[in-house]
Amino acid sequence: EPTPVTVLGLGAMGRALAAAFLEGGHPTTVWNRTPGRADALVAAGATLAADAAEAAAASPVTVVCLMDHRSVRDVLTPLADRLAGRTVINLTTVSPQDARATAAWADEHGIGHLSGAIMAVPALIGGPQSMLLYSGPDALFAAHRGLLERLGRSTHLGTDPGTAPLYDVGLLAAMYAMFGGFLHGAALVGTAGVPAKEFTALAVPWLNAMTLGLPAMADFLDSGDYRTDVQSLDFNAAAVEHLVHTSREAGIGADVLLPLLELIRRQVSEGHGAESFTRLVEGIKHPGNAA
Ligand code: NDP
């Protein structure tokens, strides 16, 4: 028997979550602050609750997908008694500290709590590319895994409620820096009149191939031993200087590249020019005066 589930918050993401639960055959109760967001879900079989308290009382599990931590607090605080003995799974994007605060609040009121992070856009929810991260009690994740798998591939990252939101930001940081680099590359090649679509046809296989090097980089990071015989920081300093020089020659900005060059120069000036590119992580971990 599929577990009944409640979804609080029917923005773009909340609606996608509720639709995936319905698709999986879970009796689904929904609520949203502003009315009128639930019509398609109700047509697909969802039950619209009159208020958040009624929604919370309808299911053993409540999935929360609101704007931010503040909206989560506003909505959940008055529901403490209704939620006692039930489980709250918060998929709202929040900071690790905020996730821990919600978990502590839930604990005080006898409410089970998992914090989650959605590594997907609404259109991907329920499909093979959808990835969700969770942290909180092992037993709670195990108990609700079947339900959560309706939304996408679900990974449990340990018991600290702050871990899923921390991973979220780590993965997004990696993504944004890559996207920034992509925009820079498209703009640079675009100075020769090349449409971005043509640049992209080569950028995608290139970046895919380059990500295969990440596990080897992780070995440096985990060992803290940055000695290498290939592509030292001196080499990388020259390489990134060449990128900056070529960008300026082409008349475009180097804004995306300069922070990286700055990190490289700092490690070189501190005497680490012969070590691996991965040594830059030390400059990130110890920003010193530069940041
Ligand atoms: P939307 O802006 O579409 O929806 C926001 C929702 O929050 C609405 O249901 C809104 O209700 C509700 N809300 C905001 N403030 C309050 C409040 N004070 N009290 C009650 N309800 C409130 O956002 P999304 O659905 O796109 O995103 C929801 C969460 O999911 C965010 O934390 C986002 O970071 C996360 N997420 C979204 C992704 C995406 O691609 N969209 C990807 C990964 C995570 P109302 O309709 O009444 O305004």
Q: Is the CB of 121 under 6 A from ligand 1?
A: yes
Single out the residue in 129, 158, 187 at which a domain terminates.
Answer: 158
Is residue 111 packed enough to be buried (19+ CB in 10 Å), middle (13-18) or exposed (0-12)?
Answer: buried
pTM of the predicted model, to two decimals? 0.93
- CATH number of domain containing 248: 1.10.1040.10
**In 58-137, alpha helices (H):** 69-76, 80-83, 96-108
My answer on whether 100 and 201 are in the same domain is no
My answer on whether 11 and 108 are in the same domain is yes
Q: Is the CB of 236 under 6 A from ligand 1?
A: no
User: Is this complex scored with an ipTM above 0.85?
Assistant: yes
My answer on whether 154 and 173 are in the same domain is no
Q: Is the CB of 9 under 6 A from ligand 1?
A: yes
Output the tens digit of pLDDT for each of the chain's 291 residues: 899 999 999 999 999 999 999 999 999 999 999 999 999 999 999 999 999 999 999 999 999 999 999 999 999 999 999 999 999 999 999 999 999 999 999 999 999 999 999 999 999 999 999 999 999 999 999 999 999 999 999 999 999 999 999 999 999 999 999 999 999 999 999 999 999 999 999 999 999 999 999 999 999 999 999 999 999 999 999 999 999 999 999 999 999 999 999 999 999 999 999 999 999 999 999 997 654
Atom of ligand 1 nearest to the CA of 92: 32
Tell me whether residue 69 is in a domain: yes
Tell me whether residue 74 is in a domain: yes
Domain count, the chain: 2
CA distances from 15 to 23, 61, 104, 144, 211 (A): 12, 16, 27, 20, 33
Q: Cβ(81)–Cβ(104) under 8 Å?
A: no
Helix (H, G, I), strand (E, B) or coil at 10: coil
- CATH number of domain containing 82: 3.40.50.720
Q: Report CA(95)–ligand 1 centroid distance (Å).
A: 15
Tell me whether residue 97 is in a domain: yes
Determine the structural domain holding residue 70 and report its residue range.
Answer: 5-158
Single out the residue in 136, 158, 180 at which a domain terminates.
Answer: 158
Atom of ligand 1 nearest to the CA of 8: 9
